[in-house]
Amino acid sequence: MAATYESIATANGDGSTPYIQFSSIPSTYTDLVLEIAHQANAGEYIDMRFNGDTASNYSYGDVGGNNSTAYASQSVNQSQFIWSGTPGSTGQVAYTVFNIQEYSNSNYYKSLISLGGYQAETRVHILRGLWRGTATINTIRIYTNGGGVAWSTNTTMTLYGIKAA
C-alpha cells in the first residue's frame, strides 16, 4: 500500500539564514502537516507566507493560556501570518504543529489549525489561520519575525503529506 502519511522534506536552521522555505510542494496529497521545533533569539515569532504572497490576504487568531492567564486574539488583512506567542529563546525550543487542510483544492480559501507549546514563555495555544487564496500551496516560507534574525541550528522543520483514499 502506498504511504498515506509521508515525509516530504526536512530542513534545519543553519544559524545564519533568516528563513526556511519548502518549495515545489507536490500537489498530490490531501492535507499537509508542518511540524516545527524552532529556536532563535527570544521574542522571535514565527512568520509565514504561502506562495510568496505578500498582499493582505492573511488573517489569524488564537486562544491559549500563559501561566494562569487565558487569552484570545485575532488579526485581519495581514500581509503574512504572524504566529505571535511562539518565541523560542536561546537554550529553549518551541514546538508548533500546523495542519493545512485541502491545500490543493481550488474551491475555497486555505484554512489551517495548529497547536503549540512554548516553555520559554510558559504558553500553550491553539492557532487558526486563513489564507485568502484558491491556488494550490506550492511554497511555504517560515521566517523569524525579526526579519534578519536566523533560525538556530537547533531548529528543525518537517513537512508531511497526508493522502486520503
Partner 1 sequence: MPILGIIASQQPGHIATGSFESIQTISGAASSYTFSSIPQTYKHLQLRITWQNATADQDMFIWFNGVNTGTSYANHVLQGSTSGTQAAYGNSNLPKWETMYDGNNAGSTTYPKVGVLDILDYSSTVKNKTARLLWGADYNGAGMAALGSALYRSTSAITSVSFQPFSTSFGANTKIALYGIKG
Task: Summarize as ranges the residues that interact with partner 1 (CB under 8 A).
Answer: 1, 3-12, 14, 17-24, 30-31, 59-64, 70-74, 76-77, 99, 101-102, 105, 107-109, 111-113, 115, 126-130, 132, 134, 141, 143, 158, 160, 162-165
For partner 1, the closer CB: 44 or 91: 44
DSSP state of 143: E
For partner 1, the closer CB: 110 or 121: 110
Sorted by sequence, the CB contacts under 8 Å of residue 138 that are 6+ apart come out as 23, 24, 25, 27, 51
The span from the CA of 34 to the CA of 140, in Å, is: 10
The span from the CA of 81 to the CA of 50, in Å, is: 9
C-alpha count within 13 angstroms, C-beta hemisphere, residue 103: 27
For partner 1, the closer CB: 89 or 138: 138
| Minimum distance from residue 49 beta carbon to partner 1 (Å) | 12
| Minimum distance from residue 89 beta carbon to partner 1 (Å) | 22
Q: Enter the C-alpha cell of residue 3.
A: 504511504
